[in-house]
Amino acid sequence: MACPVCGGEAHTRVGEKDGHVVVACSGCGLRYVDPMPSEQEIADYYAKYWVNEKNIRNGPRKVERLKRILRPVLGRVGGEGRFLDIGCNTGFACEAARELGFEATGIDLSADAVAKAEEMYPRCRFVASDLQSFAGGGEVYDAVLCREVVEHLTEAHSFFEALGRVVRVGGVLHMTTPDAGHFGVPKDFVSWKEVIPPEHITFYDRKTLQRMLELYGFEIVNQKLLLKPSLRVTAMKRR
């Protein structure tokens, strides 16, 4: 299978986990599951990708933590406007953004998660949708959050292209994903705890993530250096 980021055909085998082969692209270095899980396998997985009861009990604490994460991000667009959380689960980040003064919308593939979010945070708006379909509606946001989503995707370009459409020019994006290029990732790559197909199937590093963001009009303005293998990037939409 061609590389989801650069389209290159050449790759080397990295290992195998739970019946899925992981390869490294010889062109851009992206690591990904090859072949990708079928649409059916992924649909079955997300049908039971659920609402985590423990998370819900910890809701107020999670909202406070997300406010601390979001405050500097939202400050980059003047601290008010329209906020979108992609992969919103039960809505904690939307509630955090709303409490910080934003009009908040969350989208998630899981209708169960969206129903729970609506029940918990009725002053936010939630939609069960994938990003590409949602972006087709033409809505544009000042600030967009996308935490721990891109590692789940079988296809990169249509997602990042849609991301480029939902963030207004001058708007801000905050994105997190595991960092496959981090010194903390085990030498035996597939033994890394983030390699969990069919859930996590595309593994970015700083270079591959930057390449995708820049291609769709973003400039990275802040990238935290972390001790754990995680990318946390803030980017502004420039064009």
CB of 31 to Zn ion, least distance (A): 10
Q: Are 121 and 91 in contact (CB under 8 A)?
A: yes
- Of the candidate spans 27-35, 84-92, 97-105, 150-158, the one that interacts with Zn ion by CB under 5 A turns out to be 27-35
Whole-number Å distance between alpha carbons of 153 and 156: 7
What tokens were used for 167?
Answer: 């963030």
In this chain, which of 5, 104, 143, 145 binds Zn ion, going by CB under 5 A?
5
Residue whose CB is less far from Zn ion, 11 or 116: 11
- Of the candidate spans 21-29, 84-92, 221-229, 231-239, the one that interacts with Zn ion by CB under 5 A turns out to be 21-29
Gyration radius (Cα) of the chain, Å = 17
User: Is residue 28 part of the contact set for Zn ion (CB under 5 A)?
Assistant: yes
Helices 206-215, 157-166: inter-axial angle, 10-degree rounding:
60
CB of 166 to Zn ion, least distance (A): 25
User: Is residue 8 part of the contact set for Zn ion (CB under 5 A)?
Assistant: yes
Residue whose CB is less far from Zn ion, 27 or 59: 27
SS3 content of the chain, % helix, strand, coil (to 5): 35, 30, 40
User: Is residue 184 part of the contact set for Zn ion (CB under 5 A)?
Assistant: no
- Of the candidate spans 1-9, 73-81, 121-129, 158-166, the one that interacts with Zn ion by CB under 5 A turns out to be 1-9
- Spatial CA neighbour of 125 closest among 82, 158, 61, 187: 82
CB of 32 to Zn ion, least distance (A): 8
Residues 6 or more apart from 237 whose CB is under 8 A from it? 164, 167, 168, 169, 170, 171, 172, 173, 217, 218
CB of 7 to Zn ion, least distance (A): 7
In this chain, which of 23, 25, 86, 149 binds Zn ion, going by CB under 5 A?
25
Burial class (CB in 10 A: 0-12, 13-18, 19+), 121: buried
46: left (phi over 0), alpha (psi -120 to 50) or beta: alpha
User: Is residue 3 part of the contact set for Zn ion (CB under 5 A)?
Assistant: yes
Q: Are 55 and 62 in contact (CB under 8 A)?
A: yes
- Of the candidate spans 5-13, 67-75, 191-199, 218-226, the one that interacts with Zn ion by CB under 5 A turns out to be 5-13
User: Is residue 27 part of the contact set for Zn ion (CB under 5 A)?
Assistant: yes
Positions that interact with Zn ion (CB under 5 A) = 3, 5-6, 8, 25, 27-28, 30
